[in-house]
Amino acid sequence: MFNEIGLRHAVPERRNGVRFILRYVKAPDDGPMTISLTVVADEEAKYVLAVGETFSVRDETWVVARVDPTSDDVRAVLRLVE
């Protein structure tokens, strides 16, 4: 079973019938880096999360494990909390 999902900007990733979409990464000089995430399962949910914050989808809990805003292809990694 895969316990991580790598997201690229605006490229949907699927896992068990759930779509995860990274909308943007915000890296302000005076605060924590956050991501804007859309999750589509039974309904659509939108989140703004910092690294280390969690969210739930159906019966699973996910955490924003890391973000790399400096790559040419901005990436965020979500990890399933077990």
pLDDT digits (tens, 9 = 90+) for 28-63: 889 889 999 999 999 999 999 999 999 999 999 999
- Three-class DSSP category at 22: strand
HSE, CB side, 13 Å, CA atoms: give it for residue 34. 10
Average pLDDT for 68-72: 73
Residue 71 has what pLDDT?
67
72 Cβ neighbours under 8 A, 6+ residues apart: none
- Written as one letter, the residue type at 22 is L
Higher pLDDT, 70 or 60: 60
Q: Which one, of 31, 33, 65, 34, lies nearest residue 47 by Cα?
A: 34
